[in-house]
Amino acid sequence: SEPDVTALRELARHLALEAGALVRGGRPDRVEVAGTKSSDVDPVTAMDRASEDLLRRRLAVQRPEDAVLGEEGGGTPGTSGLTWVLDPIDGTVNYLYGVSSWAVSVAVVAGEPDPASWTVLAGAVHSVVDGVTWSAGRGQGADRDGTAIQVRRAASLATCLVGTGFGYAAERREQQARVLVEVLPRVRDVRRLGSAAIDLCLVGDGSLDLYYERGLNPWDMAAGGLVAAEAGARVSGLHGAPATVDMTVAGTPERQAELVALLESTGADAAVR
């Protein structure tokens, strides 16, 4: 039977809100910055796990036939052909430091849980500290806290506010810095807000004109990519490819095409040493 996109979207939204409340409540006033990510018991890792565990427990009851792919727990097979793609805390570094841009991202996809070929059916991104939730359903449009959203229509690349992000490896960052040298002089300004899921939603609601990043994981882009697309953005990779780990570029179609061309000219997707 055809999946009920409205019900899936509502469940995604509900789950993102519930996990967000858990994670926010579990954040110590002053997270010990030094030594985090160094062990399995650091507070960020623990809250990532707790959030994903909650999402998995709810899904096991409400959607027992669906598969799950999560940042922390990896893949759990299902029989329905649908997969829930979970990022229990997107923007972990912000969460760690107490910067407000971090989110829980929940999406459900049909087909292989691979951005190169999947069909995202529904998704929600809950920016917990800001108390903002975006959601989208395939063919239904996208909303921010219940109000329909649309991309902003910038007149030229030069007037675009562009979001981006950087990977964690030094070689990747050197290349991303070289690309940024070409992009920054050609646009209004650049933002590095620290959560890819939120960045994509901000393209959807017109708070950013464009966003690009290399190296995103499926859970970083699943829900936010649908929100952007359903709000009228084009979301793709370079050289006619879909958005994947190699490159994700989102924005109003005309400006997105210009940014894609610029990124292609800089070799933004070239192999990293």
| Helices (H), ranges, the chain | 5-25, 43-62, 92-97, 170-183, 196-204, 218-230, 253-265
| Helices (H), ranges, 135-206 | 170-183, 196-204
Q: Which is nearer to ligand IPD, 22 or 153 (CB)?
A: 22
Interacting residues with ligand IPD between 23 and 82 (CB under 6 A): none
Residue 115 as a binder of ligand IPD (CB under 6 A): the answer is: no
Q: Would you give the DSSP letter of residue 266?
A: T
Number of residues that bind ligand IPD (CB under 6 A): 14
Interacting residues with ligand IPD between 171 and 190 (CB under 6 A): none
Q: 3-class SS at 100?
A: coil
Which residue in the shown chain puts its C-beta closest to ligand IPD? 165
Reference 216, options 196, 234, 191, 188; nearest CA is: 196
Q: Which two tokens stand for residue 240?
A: 């006619």
Q: Which is nearer to ligand IPD, 140 or 217 (CB)?
A: 217
Residue 165 as a binder of ligand IPD (CB under 6 A): the answer is: yes
264 is in an annotated binding site: no
Residue 195 as a binder of ligand IPD (CB under 6 A): the answer is: yes
- Please list the residues that pair with 106 across neighbouring strands: 86, 124
Q: Which is nearer to ligand IPD, 150 or 217 (CB)?
A: 217
Residue 218 as a binder of ligand IPD (CB under 6 A): the answer is: no
2 vs 74: CA distance, rounded Å: 26
87 is in an annotated binding site: yes
Q: At a CB cut-off of 8 Å and minimum separation 6, what does 74 contact?
A: none
Residue 20 as a binder of ligand IPD (CB under 6 A): the answer is: no
220 is in an annotated binding site: yes
89 is in an annotated binding site: yes
21 vs 34: CA distance, rounded Å: 25
Q: Which two tokens stand for residue 204?
A: 């959807």
Reference 186, options 166, 210, 216; nearest CA is: 210
Per-position x/- string for 74-93, each x denoting binding to ligand IPD as judged by CB under 6 A, each - no binding = -------------x--xxx-
Determine which residue in the list 137, 194, 206, 251 makes contact with ligand IPD, applying CB under 6 A: 194
230 is in an annotated binding site: no
21 vs 172: CA distance, rounded Å: 33
Q: Which is nearer to ligand IPD, 165 or 237 (CB)?
A: 165
Which residues bind to ligand IPD, rule: CB under 6 A? 87, 90-92, 165-167, 194-196, 213, 215-216, 220
Q: Which residues are annotated as a binding site for Mg(2+)?
A: 71, 87, 89-90, 220
